Chains A and B, each alone.
Chain A
Amino acid sequence: MDKGPRFDIDATVTIAATTLEFVLRSAADFLCVTGASGSGKSTFLRLLCGHELNANGRVSVDGRAFLDGSARIPSWERAIGWCPQDYVLLPHKTVEENLRLGAREEACTSELIELLALRQLLKRAPRNLSGGEKQRVALGRALASKPSLLLLDEPFSAQDRPRRSELARDVAQWIRTYAIPTVLVTHDDDDRQSLADETWHLAHGRFDQTEGAQ
């Protein structure tokens, strides 16, 4: 039976005097979104998170309507795992407390601690971590919530090259194991080609081309 598209989005977001129009319909599990700086990638992720209050239209993931006209599911009920580009680790909490912010299952969290090599960092404060370590904590925090939608904004950009591809592959494997719909924002061609089922390109607040549509 056809379950319909995983992502069914036809929404506008107004910021100051600019209106961005996002139209995206896809059955892919793992979407990649590319685009130049200022093209609206972060706004698109914020729309999915429910942080853009000046949004109208329809945002539906796996048949669940986050936004439908004026009706919206608030961000705290969307069960989203968000890994922001600049990590946004809570500075007054340890790595472990950050990881457990949205964690649901102990076994799952422990698995991620090993997968992302975070064991030695658990008691440290975010300010004492390197950029790559902070990024792995933010990634682990997003995954540990076992969300119904995963939003990854440049999640591997701060990782060293030799380790980066291996980490990306392991994380993608973990995501596919739990069948979590994922939106990956990246500028990296390797990530895009090796991880994504489809690539959508954003320009001036519009999706204007796709690659790898199945």
Chain B
Amino acid sequence: MHLDPWSAIRISALVGILTSVIGFPIAVSVGWLLARKQFVGKSLVGALVLAPLVMPPIVLGLGLLRVFGHRSWLGEALATVGISIPFGFEGVVLASLLVGMPLYVLASRDAFVATDLRYEELARTFGQRPWKAFWSTSFPLAVPGIACGALLAFARALGEFGATAVIAGNIEGKTRTISLAVYSLLDSPGNSETMYVLVGASLGIGLTTIVAYEMLAHWQRRRLGLHHG
């Protein structure tokens, strides 16, 4: 069986980065909303955010297929503008976004909860309008926590398997991520070298992510003045 491990590594890394980047505005806005605002249906929004975390990924994949499949109205509408979610790279990103967003949003929410609202109040007292007060106080103080969420979403995207397999398939050079590549190799003996590369890459990226996460968490505590050093 021919399988290019570097292609799978490239696709996984790209999907992880896109998940972190595309998810950023969603994580910040929903996290801020859950941390700072009281509104009707807040519990429902919180539950919807968490749902992908507790649902089987394969079920999520089936849901995506139902919503974005070629026979759905949304899938047909997207096809008219040249976007095909099923069995395409976009499907891999979408599946990773869906499973990664709960961690991203929760980290963002916790980052805003940890930031004292009085910093914004103080900035407003000194003449800053609410929007500017937010960008000059709460946002920079929450950034390390939000970045922790981005890393978690990145790591989750790296390990994503079930939803991706259902919505995007396992197409070499297009939708085959590290997880899917490893799965493919399980059924074809004699590719141990390729397997080592994939497992090594997974471990390397995973450990780097953990170290980066710890550094960001440390930065967050320093920024908020929670400890010296």
Give Cα A76 to B122, complex, Å. 9
Asked if residues B140 and A92 are in contact (CB atoms below 8 Å), the reply is yes
Please tell me which one of the listed residues B122, B124, B128, B141 contacts residue A84 in the complex, with CB atoms under 8 A apart: B122
Asked if residues A145 and B119 are in contact (CB atoms below 8 Å), the reply is no
Asked if residues A88 and B128 are in contact (CB atoms below 8 Å), the reply is no
In the complex, chain A residues 54-100 whose Cβ is within 8 Å of any chain B Cβ = 74-82, 84, 88, 90-92
A176 beta carbon closer than 8 Å to chain B: no
Total A-B pairs in contact (CB under 8 Å)?
A: 59
Asked if residues B118 and A88 are in contact (CB atoms below 8 Å), the reply is yes
A51 beta carbon closer than 8 Å to chain B: yes
B126 beta carbon closer than 8 Å to chain A: yes
User: Nearest CB to that of A80 among chain B residues?
Assistant: B125
Asked if residues A91 and B123 are in contact (CB atoms below 8 Å), the reply is no
A152 beta carbon closer than 8 Å to chain B: no
Interface of B (DSSP majority class): helix
B218 beta carbon closer than 8 Å to chain A: no
Give Cα A88 to B116, complex, Å. 9
A31 beta carbon closer than 8 Å to chain B: no
Asked if residues B127 and A127 are in contact (CB atoms below 8 Å), the reply is no
Give Cα A88 to B125, complex, Å. 12
Asked if residues B125 and A49 are in contact (CB atoms below 8 Å), the reply is yes
Asked if residues B118 and A84 are in contact (CB atoms below 8 Å), the reply is yes
Asked if residues A126 and B122 are in contact (CB atoms below 8 Å), the reply is no
A209 beta carbon closer than 8 Å to chain B: no
B194 beta carbon closer than 8 Å to chain A: no
A179 beta carbon closer than 8 Å to chain B: no
User: Nearest CB to that of B121 among chain A residues?
Assistant: A51
Number of interface residues of B (CB under 8 A): 22
User: Nearest CB to that of B123 among chain A residues?
Assistant: A101
Asked if residues A101 and B126 are in contact (CB atoms below 8 Å), the reply is yes
Q: B124-152 vs A: 1/0 string, CB under 8 Å?
A: 11111110010001001100000000000
User: Nearest CB to that of B117 among chain A residues?
Assistant: A51
Please tell me which one of the listed residues A78, A101, A127, A141 contacts residue B225 in the complex, with CB atoms under 8 A apart: A127
Please tell me which one of the listed residues A49, A77, A92, A102 contacts residue B223 in the complex, with CB atoms under 8 A apart: A92
A128 beta carbon closer than 8 Å to chain B: yes
Give Cα A79 to B128, complex, Å. 10
Chain B residues in 8 Å Cβ range of A76: 124-130, 133
Chain A residues in 8 Å Cβ range of B141: 91-92
Chain A residues in 8 Å Cβ range of B67: none
Q: Which 3 A-B pairs have the closest CB atoms?
A: A102-B126, A91-B225, A127-B225
Q: Which residues of A contact B (CB under 8 A)?
A: 49-51, 74-82, 84, 88, 90-92, 101-102, 126-128, 141, 145
> Could you show 24 A-B contacts with beta carbons less than 8 Å apart?
A49-B121, A50-B125, A51-B121, A51-B124, A74-B124, A75-B124, A76-B126, A76-B127, A76-B130, A76-B133, A82-B125, A88-B116, A88-B119, A90-B122, A91-B224, A91-B225, A92-B141, A101-B122, A102-B126, A102-B127, A127-B222, A127-B228, A145-B126, A145-B127
